[in-house]
Amino acid sequence: MADLQQAKEWLQQATGVAVLTGAGISAESGVPTFRGTDGLWKDYKPEDLATPEAFLKDPRLVWEWYDWRRGLIAKAKPNAAHRALVQLETRKRGFTLITQNVDGLHDQAGSGKILKLHGDIWRMRCLECGANFPNRRCPLPKLPPHCACGGMARPGVVWFGEPLPDGMLKEAEHAVSQAQVFLVIGTSAAVYPAAGLIPYAKQAGAKVIEINTEATALSAMADCVLQGAAGELLPQLI
Ligand code: OAD
C-alpha cells in the first residue's frame, strides 16, 4: 500500500510519462502470454514459428499459428488496464505508449499514438512489392495469404533476429529520456532491445514503476514494484 501511494505521488507530479507494456497487460483479456506456466513458448518453439528462417522453410505452418492467434485475439476486448492508460494519456502533457504487443488492444481501447515495437498482427507485408497493409479477416480463407500484386504476404510483426521498425527504438528512447516516470507493465523484460529501455530510463533519471504479477529479470532495477494484476492495480494507480 505504501508502494502504491509512493508510485501515485511520482505519477501525479510527472509531466512526462512513458509506458512500456508487454503480453501481461492483455492476459486479463484472455490473450495468452509467451513465458510462464501458461505461456505460448511452453508448447511452441519460437525458432519454428517466429523467425524469418521458419517462415522461409514453411510459410503455411507459420501462418496457421498466426491465424490461430488472430482468432484468439479477435475475441478479446481491452480490459481495465488498457482503459486506465487511455485516461492517463489525457492527463499528461508528455505521454508515450510503447508496446511489445501485436494484439491491437491498446488501439481498440482508444490510445493515441502507439510505438508498436514488435509490429501488428492485424497487418501484413508483401514479400514481393513490400506493401504493408491492414487485414482483419479471420480466419484467413487461404494460407499463406497473398497481396493484391500476387506476392506472398507475411505477418506484419517483428520476428526474432529482425530489426525493430525503422527509427522506432530511437523514438522510444527519446520519449523515455524525457519522462520523469517510466511505467513498465506486464513484461518479463526478457526480450531486447525492448527490455533495454528499463536501464535506459534509469540512466536518464526516470522513476521506474513496474507492475507485474511476478518478479522479473529487471525488478531489482525498478524504483517501485507493484505486484499484482495490471487490470486491478492500474486503475488504482491512475
Ligand atoms: P512474456 O510472456 O515474456 O511476459 C509476460 C509478463 O506478464 C510476465 O512477466 C508475467 O508475470 C506478467 N503477467 C501475466 N499476467 C499479468 C497480469 N494480469 N498483470 C500484470 N502482469 C502479468 O511477454 P513479453 O514480456 O511481452 O516477441 O514478451 C516479450 C516478447 O517476447 C513478445 O513481444 C514476443 C515474445 O516472444 C516476439 O514474438 C518477437
Question: Closest Cα to atom 2, ligand 1: which residue?
Answer: 34
How far away, in angstroms, is 128 Cα from ligand 1 center?
Answer: 32
Torsion, CA 26, CA 67, CA 189, CA 2, rounded to 10: 0
Whole-angstrom distance, CA of residue 63 vs CA of residue 55: 8
pLDDT at 113: 87
Q: How confident is the model at residue 38 (pLDDT cuts 50, 70, 90)?
A: confident
By three-state DSSP, how is residue 176 classified? helix
By three-state DSSP, how is residue 156 classified? strand
How far away, in angstroms, is 137 Cα from ligand 1 center?
Answer: 25
pLDDT at 1: 65
Backbone angles phi, psi at 20, to 5 degrees: -120, 125
How far away, in angstroms, is 100 Cα from ligand 1 center?
Answer: 9
Which residues belong to the active site?
118
Q: Is residue 214 in contact with ligand 1, taking CB distance under 6 Å?
A: yes
Q: pLDDT, tens digit, for every residue of 100-143?
A: 999 999 999 999 989 999 999 999 999 999 999 999 999 999 99
By three-state DSSP, how is residue 140 classified? coil
Q: pLDDT, tens digit, for every residue of 198-223?
A: 999 999 999 999 999 999 999 999 99
Distances (CA, A) of 96 to 18, 126, 167, 175: 5, 29, 15, 6
For a pLDDT cut of 70, what percent of the chain falls above it?
A: 100
Whole-angstrom distance, CA of residue 223 vs CA of residue 206: 9
For the cut 90, the answer to whether the pLDDT of residue 42 exceeds it is no
Q: Is residue 79 in contact with ligand 1, taking CB distance under 6 Å?
A: no
Parallel, antiparallel, or unpaired for β 153-157 and 119-126? antiparallel
